[in-house]
Amino acid sequence: MADSEMIMTGAEMVLKALAEHGVKHVFGYPGGAVLPIYDEFFQQDKVKHILVRHEQGATHMAEGYARSNGKCGVALATSGPGATNCVTGLMDALADSIPMVLFTGQVPTHLIGSDAFQECDTVGITRPCTKQNWLVKDVNDLARIIHEAFYVATTGRPGPVVVDIPKDVQFAKGTYTPKDGVIIKSYQPQTKPDAKAIEAAIAMIASAKKPVLYTGGGVINSGPKASKLLREFVELTGIPITSTLMGLGAYPASGKEWLGMLGMHGTYEANMAMHDCDVMINVGARFDDRITGRLDAFSPHSRKIHIDIDPSSINKVVRAHVPVIADVAAALEAMIAAWKAHKHGLDHAVLKAWKAEIQKWKDVDCLKYRQSKDVIMPQYAVQRLYELTKNRETYITTEVGQHQMWAAQFYRFEEPNRWMTSGGLGTMGYGLPAAVGVQAAHPKALVVDIAGDASVQMTMQEFSTAIQYNLPIKIMILNNHYMGMVRQWQQLLHGNRMSESYSDSLPDFVKLAEAMGGQGVHCDKPADLDSAIMKMIETPGPVIFNCEVANLANCFPMIPSGKAHNEMLLGADITDEEVGTAIDAKGKQLV
Amino acid sequence: MNAHQQATGSAYFIDTTKKVVETHTLAVVAANQPGVLARIIGLFAGRGYNIDSLTVSETEHEKHVSRFTIVTSGTASVVAQIKAQLDRMVLVHSVEDLTVQGNFLARELAMVKVSGQGDKRVEALRLADAFRARVVDASTESFVFELTGKPDKVDQFISLMVPLGLVEVARTGVAAISRGPDAMKI
Ligand SMILES: Cc1ncc(C[n+]2csc(CCOP(=O)(O)OP(=O)(O)O)c2C)c(N)n1
């Protein structure tokens, strides 16, 4: 390419770099400080811009997009309020390790520091919620920085990054640097496992009597190959497997060794297996407090193997006897090879005894709930959604609350990347825009946001984005007229005083959908549920399904705050009295 | 701050009362780019770690690297976590725990202003001499002493100057380096 072809404006560089990185969609919102970039969008057709209704929506769309197709999500916002509106999405992506590049406009360099109109310290505000961020002061650095940004966002432990570009830099002409050969000397994440660590891990597993695999979002982040290898490893060893909220789908819910999700609202069998195991193999999870429960009683008898790409995850919360710092796929590949090379095999009789113990826990049937003929139980609604969508290419997103946990418990995921939820940050308002992002990545698939009546109102306006781009997302609101999860905690902790947790003045969601140009579906009877779900699926375009469910249902099983895995509250037959006294004074101080 | 009580990253109770808080001196080499200092300080502030002392300066102009010397305190697991958190930063080249490696030099420079007349003034000068502090400024009723040494030597000198008319102190914080022929990897 002639040198003169590499001379261009900063705004042109942004578009050229996006094309070079294979970016197909950008979720954004214009404003004064990014108008030069918008002018470039107007003059090209390689990258599609999706106009959101609020910048937070753009960031969650980028997250949903990234999580569902393994690529980097890209968002764009103007300076000042545009940038600050993105903070929630950045933090969400940081907490869940989602690759995202956010471009923000900034006031011209000579005005920085003068409290100019729509100026804010974007790199300062976003520093703690990004993996790295850059303020670009010289147009000749811009292309290199964008390449570094994509590299940092997508490698190692993925995460969000911000590139802040002053308006004069967007107008200025400079030389474009192609992406090849960009390296960051100080940043070289380790992806290949140490051979000795693999040997130690394998030896420990081979000696186990009660092994359990505890897998997390790292398996999903590592890519489809990691899920394949995980399945192979389970097949090879016969070890029972559970997963965090973020890791659902890496191992199929129909798989022989599946224990269900673990943690605060995980299954009895998964949590009891974690508590009683003698060797725990953590694959790409991080011993989050929602998983461990009371730490000093967490899996007291086990030796622990911890596979993670981020060295700071090792020994952060729980001590690992064998740390393996590596990409999950690389570690599993090495473990499978070593297992086969040693002709290892677990003692059948011993493993059988362990599985018999597990079977007893399974027989408790911890997810059972009281069915009703008159009202739709929320669990039942998710079960029916699963049955009616399992044979399609279906992607599920959620908001945050009880409905999210019921979705995790009752929707059965067979494949990775089909499940997008806000795990680490727990951001209400994530699911609807995330669904828009997923649908942009998979135009033909069925994308359903399992929502709560309170959460969905946080980013409701993005339904209009879905209408504009004809992205036929389906919003299934499990409408219990409460901030159910808040109400549940008030029942557990605060004498059932439902302070401000009733969803008063709810909109008529059906009319709301229609007012925005979509379709609404309503159902409040169990007998009509299937046909309502089918109507939601078969109605073309974006649909809001207001599914009226039992108002006071609680989400069980549950490890109450401050309790151990083997102190779970089981749901079906629990009395209000038991719920009200389940948490002691110390536990009440916890989140 | 109570880093030793919180920084385990868990919301649940961990008995930390029996754990010993240790002081560690870390050497950190990072790319000399805007924001790197803010990111490092933000890590300590955001996660509730202690900074007892922090010094930074560009050390190799051509390589664009800066060296930080950070003195921090916490239980062994907190210090290990601090190192891991620093090391994973995109702009950090390497982190070494000089305390764990043992055998390192730590020095600090202080400028100490003492005002007064008569016997106290004479005594201040005599002590300064014993500490090998230099007089870098003098007037009929004041001295500014310059002193280099280990932090505890500086502490000791300053406390001796208190009754002798100490009015102001400026300290650089600690710079540290390992002894012997080997250099820190970048
Ligand atoms: C942005 C944000 N604000 C507040 C919370 C705290 N919070 C967690 S769950 C919840 C209630 C959610 O209610 P709803 O969406 O109706 O779902 P439900 O629990 O009823 O299924 C609240 C307020 C949160 N997670 N996120």
Reported confidence tier of residue B132, pLDDT bands at 50, 70, 90: very high
Contact A525, A350 (CB under 8 A): no
* Residue B109 forms part of a structural domain: yes
Which among B13, B84, B91 has CB closest to A294? B13
Q: What Cα–Cα distance (Å) separates residue A156 from each residue in A6, A100, A241, A470?
A: 30, 13, 25, 35
Peptide bond into A189 cis (omega under 30): no
Question: Catalytic pick from A485, A536, A558, A568?
Answer: A485
Reported confidence tier of residue A73, pLDDT bands at 50, 70, 90: very high
Q: What pLDDT, on the 0 to 100 scale, is given for residue B5? A: 37
Q: Across residues A487-513, what is the average pLDDT?
A: 95
Contact A144, A171 (CB under 8 A): no
B8 CA: distance to closest CA in chain A (Å): 6
A488 C-alpha to ligand 1 centroid (Å): 11
Which among B12, B46, B77 has CB closest to A562? B12
Q: What pLDDT, on the 0 to 100 scale, is given for residue A280? A: 98
Q: For chain B, how many residues are written?
A: 186
- How does DSSP assign B16-71, residue by residue? -TTSPPEEEEEEEEEE--TTHHHHHHHHHHHHT---SEEEEEEEETTTTEEEEEEE
- Using the predicted structure, report yes or no on whether residue B13 has a pLDDT greater than 80: no
Q: Across residues A203-232, what is the average pLDDT?
A: 98
Q: What Cα–Cα distance (Å) separates residue A163 from each residue in A88, A160, A500?
A: 17, 10, 39
Q: What pLDDT, on the 0 to 100 scale, is given for residue A369? A: 93
Best B90, B94, B95 residue to mutate vs chain A (most A CBs within 10 Å): B90
Triad A526, A531, A532: Cα angle to 5°: 75
What is the bridge-based pairing of β-strands B65-74 and B22-31?
antiparallel
Would you call B13 and A127 a contact, using CB atoms and an 8 Å cutoff? Answer: no
Would you call A294 and B12 a contact, using CB atoms and an 8 Å cutoff? Answer: yes
Q: What Cα–Cα distance (Å) separates residue B184 from each residue in A373, A539, B39?
A: 72, 65, 22
For residue A270, what are the contacts with CB-CB under 8 A and spacing of at least 6?
Answer: A242, A259, A260, A261, A262
**Residue B29 sits in the same domain as residue B83:** yes
Would you call B84 and A133 a contact, using CB atoms and an 8 Å cutoff? Answer: no
* Residue B43 forms part of a structural domain: yes
Mean pLDDT taken over chain B: 90
Dihedral sign of CA atoms A387, A390, A394, A396 in order:
positive
**Residue B117 sits in the same domain as residue B136:** yes
Reported confidence tier of residue A583, pLDDT bands at 50, 70, 90: confident
- Using the predicted structure, report yes or no on whether residue B9 has a pLDDT greater than 70: no
**Residue B31 sits in the same domain as residue B97:** yes
* Residue B159 forms part of a structural domain: yes
Q: What pLDDT, on the 0 to 100 scale, is given for residue A1? A: 53
B179 exposed, middle or buried (CB, 10 Å; 0-12, 13-18, 19+)?
exposed
**Residue B45 sits in the same domain as residue B74:** yes
Closest residue in A to B12 (Cα) is A294
Q: What pLDDT, on the 0 to 100 scale, is given for residue B11? A: 43
3-state secondary structure of A468: helix
Q: Across residues A264-279, what is the average pLDDT?
A: 97
3-state secondary structure of A28: strand
- Using the predicted structure, report yes or no on whether residue B12 has a pLDDT greater than 60: no
B90 CA: distance to closest CA in chain A (Å): 5
Q: What Cα–Cα distance (Å) separates residue A404 from each residue in A398, A429, A452, A579?
A: 6, 12, 8, 21
Cβ neighbours of A370 (radius 10 Å): 11
Q: What pLDDT, on the 0 to 100 scale, is given for residue B18? A: 57
How many domains in chain B?
Answer: 2
For the domain that residue B122 is a member of, what is the CATH number? Answer: 3.30.70.1150
B93: chain A residues, CB-CB within 8 Å:
185-186
Cβ neighbours of A323 (radius 10 Å): 21
Q: Across residues A238-265, what is the average pLDDT?
A: 98
Q: CB of A485 closer than 6 A to ligand 1? A: yes
Dihedral sign of CA atoms A239, A244, A248, A250 in order:
negative
Q: What pLDDT, on the 0 to 100 scale, is given for residue A565? A: 87
A155: chain B residues, CB-CB within 8 Å:
none
Q: Can you give the pTM of this predicted structure?
A: 0.95
Would you call A292 and B10 a contact, using CB atoms and an 8 Å cutoff? Answer: yes
Contact A54, A82 (CB under 8 A): no
Q: CB of A427 closer than 6 A to ligand 1? A: yes
Task: State the Cα–Cα distance between residues A433 and A436, nearest whole angstrom.
Answer: 5
- Using the predicted structure, report yes or no on whether residue B8 has a pLDDT greater than 60: no
For residue A90, what are the contacts with CB-CB under 8 A and spacing of at least 6?
Answer: A59, A100, A102, A126, A129, A130, A160, A162
**Residue B46 sits in the same domain as residue B91:** yes
Expressed as residue numbers, the domain containing B36 is 22-102
For residue B41, what are the contacts with CB-CB under 8 A and spacing of at least 6?
Answer: B51, B54
Q: What pLDDT, on the 0 to 100 scale, is given for residue B6? A: 36
Reported confidence tier of residue B164, pLDDT bands at 50, 70, 90: very high
- Residue that the structure tokens 């943690």 belong to: A263
For the domain that residue B65 is a member of, what is the CATH number? Answer: 3.30.70.260
Q: Across residues A213-239, what is the average pLDDT?
A: 98
**Which of A377, A379, A400, A421 for a ligand 1 pocket mutation test, highest count of atoms within 8 Å of Cβ?**
A400
Would you call A294 and B42 a contact, using CB atoms and an 8 Å cutoff? Answer: no
Q: What pLDDT, on the 0 to 100 scale, is given for residue A572? A: 64
Q: Which residue has the higher pLDDT, A439 or A586?
A: A439
Ligand 1 atom nearest A428 alpha carbon: 26
Residue whose Cα lies nearest atom 20 of ligand 1: it is: A484
Task: State the Cα–Cα distance between residues A214 and A287, nearest whole angstrom.
Answer: 10
Residue of B69, B77, B75 lying closest to B97 (CA atoms): B69
Q: What pLDDT, on the 0 to 100 scale, is given for residue B19? A: 81
Task: State the Cα–Cα distance between residues A60 and A89, nearest whole angstrom.
Answer: 6
Q: Which residue has the higher pLDDT, A20 or B185?
A: A20
Question: Catalytic pick from A24, A71, A118, A137?
Answer: A118
Which of B76, B102, B128 finishes a domain?
Answer: B102
3-state secondary structure of A547: strand
**Residue B28 sits in the same domain as residue B81:** yes
Would you call A185 and B92 a contact, using CB atoms and an 8 Å cutoff? Answer: no
Q: Which residue has the higher pLDDT, A352 or B14?
A: A352
Q: What pLDDT, on the 0 to 100 scale, is given for residue A252? A: 98
* Residue B5 forms part of a structural domain: no
* Residue B182 forms part of a structural domain: no
Would you call A317 and B46 a contact, using CB atoms and an 8 Å cutoff? Answer: no
Dihedral sign of CA atoms A132, A135, A137, A139 in order:
positive
Task: State the Cα–Cα distance between residues A326 and A189, nearest whole angstrom.
Answer: 9
* Residue B58 forms part of a structural domain: yes
A310: chain B residues, CB-CB within 8 Å:
88
Assembly ipTM: 0.92
Residue of A561, A568, A532, A534 lying closest to A548 (CA atoms): A532
Which among B9, B81, B90 has CB closest to A132? B90
Q: Tens of pLDDT along A155-194?
A: 999 999 999 999 999 999 999 999 998 899 999 999 999 9
Helices A431-441, A55-69: axis angle to 10 degrees equals: 50
Closest residue in A to B7 (Cα) is A316
A78 C-alpha to ligand 1 centroid (Å): 29
Which of B47, B75, B102 finishes a domain?
Answer: B102
Which two tokens mark B35? 């924001």
Q: What pLDDT, on the 0 to 100 scale, is given for residue A588? A: 74
* Residue B112 forms part of a structural domain: yes
8-state DSSP, A143: H
Task: State the Cα–Cα distance between residues A84 and A275, nearest whole angstrom.
Answer: 42
- Using the predicted structure, report yes or no on whether residue A361 has a pLDDT greater than 70: yes
Mean pLDDT taken over chain A: 96
- A167 catalytic? Reply is yes
Triad A360, A253, A209: Cα angle to 5°: 45
3-state DSSP helix/strand/coil % of chain A, to nearest 5: 45, 15, 40
A422 C-alpha to ligand 1 centroid (Å): 12
Q: CB of A450 closer than 6 A to ligand 1? A: no
B7 CA: distance to closest CA in chain A (Å): 9
Q: Across residues B161-174, what is the average pLDDT?
A: 97
What is the bridge-based pairing of β-strands A322-325 and A303-308?
parallel
Contact A307, A326 (CB under 8 A): yes
**Residue B97 sits in the same domain as residue B34:** yes
Among the residue ranges A192-201, A337-346, B8-17, the one predicted with the least confidence is B8-17
Q: Tens of pLDDT along B19-42?
A: 899 999 999 999 999 999 999 999
Ligand 1 atom nearest A399 alpha carbon: 15
- A55 catalytic? Reply is yes
A370 C-alpha to ligand 1 centroid (Å): 24
Cβ neighbours of A468 (radius 10 Å): 14
A61 C-alpha to ligand 1 centroid (Å): 19
Q: CB of A400 closer than 6 A to ligand 1? A: yes
Reported confidence tier of residue A584, pLDDT bands at 50, 70, 90: confident
Q: Tens of pLDDT along A98-156?
A: 999 999 999 999 999 999 999 999 999 999 999 999 999 999 999 999 999 999 999 99
Contact A434, A382 (CB under 8 A): no
8-state DSSP, A549: B
Ligand 1 atom nearest A427 alpha carbon: 26
What amino acid occupies position A444?
K
**Residue B85 sits in the same domain as residue B118:** no
Measured in degrees and rounded to the nearest 5, phi and psi for residue A217 equal: -60, -25
**Residue B51 sits in the same domain as residue B95:** yes
**Residue B94 sits in the same domain as residue B27:** yes
**Which of A382, A403, A453, A486 for a ligand 1 pocket mutation test, highest count of atoms within 8 Å of Cβ?**
A486
**Residue B93 sits in the same domain as residue B114:** no
Task: Give percent of chain B above pLDDT 70.
Answer: 90
**Residue B35 sits in the same domain as residue B94:** yes
Would you call B77 and A315 a contact, using CB atoms and an 8 Å cutoff? Answer: yes
8-state DSSP, A176: P
Which of B85, B102, B119 finishes a domain?
Answer: B102
Q: CB of A292 closer than 6 A to ligand 1? A: no
Among the residue ranges A60-74, A503-517, A568-582, B2-16, the one predicted with the least confidence is B2-16
Q: Across residues A65-80, what is the average pLDDT?
A: 98
Contact A87, A126 (CB under 8 A): yes
Contact A197, A163 (CB under 8 A): no
Reported confidence tier of residue A2, pLDDT bands at 50, 70, 90: low
Q: What pLDDT, on the 0 to 100 scale, is given for residue B14? A: 43
A435 CA: distance to closest CA in chain B (Å): 31
A52 C-alpha to ligand 1 centroid (Å): 23
Contact A28, A7 (CB under 8 A): no
Would you call A186 and B42 a contact, using CB atoms and an 8 Å cutoff? Answer: no
* Residue B9 forms part of a structural domain: no
Would you call B12 and A133 a contact, using CB atoms and an 8 Å cutoff? Answer: no
Cβ neighbours of A524 (radius 10 Å): 15
Triad A106, A39, A91: Cα angle to 5°: 40
A187: chain B residues, CB-CB within 8 Å:
90-91
Interface of A with B (CB under 8 A): 123-124, 127-128, 131-133, 135, 152, 156-157, 184-187, 287, 289, 292-296, 310-312, 314-317, 562, 586, 590-591
- A485 catalytic? Reply is yes
Q: What pLDDT, on the 0 to 100 scale, is given for residue A36? A: 98
Reported confidence tier of residue A344, pLDDT bands at 50, 70, 90: confident
Rg (CA), chain A: 25
Task: State the Cα–Cα distance between residues A65 and A99, nearest whole angstrom.
Answer: 10
